[in-house]
């Protein structure tokens, strides 16, 4: 029922993939199971690609886990398609360009047979071979997200895909950092190379809130934000991130930059 409408959409967007899917045959090691919540899940050999309880909720948790990195990226490459739940949930929180890669034609065939993917396929680019894999065309940082169960099915192919995308990610990462540094300087976030006696700021304790505030400038946006930690004995990025996460919504520009810094650090 779903196969023809999915293939019709693919034939206009990715003719080579559509042709491969039309010629593909179902494989015995791939089994579709109905989750307790209703939507279909898929098992390949001993590997479950999605939850057999609630694949949609699992997908939302996956997106939430990567939230800071998603927000810091300008475009996104997802390694592993599976049945597409995680990509659908990704698109609910961002309108950034997305490309998906999955080398398992048997998995893609099962997905095309089991689910209506026509809307999802119209919103992303998808490739199943390296020759067709291209990063989304967007300025800024390319984020690479891994759907780990899918990656476990063919780690070598996904590693090749990551290697192909990595130079692009590094290039856009550098551009993104340049943009952020320029923004920080223009906004008064940049460090002031003041001196206390014979020692420059760089020689003072970086975890001392008072020195950090003085270096930023007490009257700058960054200095005013850091002043909330003025009574602390020391201050680390993890302390700031925890404070921001506890706050939740309505984040300032400074807070968003700190979250982006933490996302870059983890990558």
Tell me if 209 sits within 8 A of 230, measured CB to CB: yes
Residues 214 and 107 in one domain: no
Residues 165 and 189 in one domain: no
Question: Of the given ranges (152-166, 206-220, 236-250), which has the lowest mean pLDDT?
Answer: 206-220
The secondary structure of residue 99, as a DSSP letter, is: E
The CATH number linked to 72 is: 3.40.50
Q: Which of 169, 191, 224 is the last residue of a domain?
A: 169
Q: How far apart (Å, rounded) are the C-alpha atoms in residues 172 and 204?
A: 33
Give residue 60's pLDDT: 96
Residues 147 and 218 in one domain: no
The secondary structure of residue 195, as a DSSP letter, is: E
Domain-located, residue 13 = yes
If we measure between CA atoms, which residue out of 110, 108, 144, 138 comes closest to residue 126?
108
Does 138 score more than 70 pLDDT? no
Give residue 140's pLDDT: 66
- Helical spans, DSSP H, in 83-230: 85-93, 105-114, 118-123, 148-153, 155-186, 209-216, 221-226
Beta strands 47-48 and 40-44, pairing class: antiparallel
Tell me if 116 sits within 8 A of 31, measured CB to CB: no
Residues 158 and 191 in one domain: no
pLDDT digits (tens, 9 = 90+) for 11-44: 998 999 999 999 887 767 899 999 999 999 999 9
Domain-located, residue 175 = no
Q: Domain residues for 22?
A: 2-169
Q: How far apart (Å, rounded) are the C-alpha atoms in residues 66 and 50?
A: 17
Residues 84 and 105 in one domain: yes
CA distances from 4 to 10, 13, 112, 127, 213 (A): 10, 14, 8, 19, 62
Give residue 260's pLDDT: 75
Q: How many CB atoms lie within 10 A of CB 262?
A: 20
Name the β-bridge partners of 144.
77
Q: How far apart (Å, rounded) are the C-alpha atoms in residues 140 and 7?
A: 32
Q: What percent of the chain has pLDDT over 70?
A: 78
pLDDT band at residue 1, thresholds of 50, 70 and 90?
confident
pLDDT band at residue 189, thresholds of 50, 70 and 90?
very low
Average pLDDT over residues 72-80: 89
Domain-located, residue 227 = yes
How many domains are contained in the chain?
Answer: 2
DSSP-derived secondary structure for 35-68: -TTSSEEEEETTEESS-SS-HHHHHHHHHHHTHH
Give residue 180's pLDDT: 52
Average pLDDT over residues 193-214: 50
Cα angle 84, 71, 241; round to 5: 125
If we measure between CA atoms, which residue out of 114, 44, 107 comes closest to residue 80?
107
- Entry pTM: 0.66
Residues 115 and 230 in one domain: no
φ and ψ of 176, to 5 deg: -65, -40
pLDDT digits (tens, 9 = 90+) for 218-256: 777 777 888 888 888 777 778 888 888 887 777 777 787
């Amino acid at each position: 029922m779903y196969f023809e409408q999915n293939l019709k959409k693919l034939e206009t967007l990715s003719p080579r993939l559509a042709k491969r899917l039309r010629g593909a045959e179902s494989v015995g090691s791939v089994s579709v199971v109905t989750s307790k919540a209703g939507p279909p899940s898929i098992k390949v050999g001993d590997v479950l690609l999605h939850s057999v309880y609630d694949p949609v909720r699992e997908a939302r948790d996956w997106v939430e886990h990567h939230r800071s990195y998603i927000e810091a990226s300008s475009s996104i490459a997802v390694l592993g398609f599976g049945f597409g739940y995680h990509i659908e949930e990704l698109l609910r929180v961002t309108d950034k360009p997305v490309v998906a890669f999955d080398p398992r034609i048997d998995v893609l065939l099962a997905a095309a047979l089991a689910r209506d993917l026509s809307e999802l396929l119209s919103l992303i680019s998808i490739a199943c071979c390296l020759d067709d894999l291209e990063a989304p065309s967007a300025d800024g940082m390319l984020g690479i997200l891994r759907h780990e169960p899918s990656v476990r099915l063919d780690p070598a192919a996904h590693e090749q895909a990551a290697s192909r995308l990595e130079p692009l990610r590094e290039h856009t990462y550098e551009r993104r950092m340049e943009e952020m540094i320029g923004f920080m300087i223009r906004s008064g976030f940049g460090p002031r190379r003041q001196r206390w006696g014979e020692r420059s700021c760089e020689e003072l304790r970086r975890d001392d809130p008072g020195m950090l505030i003085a270096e930023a400038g007490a009257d700058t946006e960054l200095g005013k934000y850091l002043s909330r930690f003025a009574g602390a004995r020391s201050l680390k990025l993890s302390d700031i991130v925890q404070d921001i996460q506890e706050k939740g919504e309505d984040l300032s520009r400074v807070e968003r930059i700190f979250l982006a810094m933490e996302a870059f650090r983890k990558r």
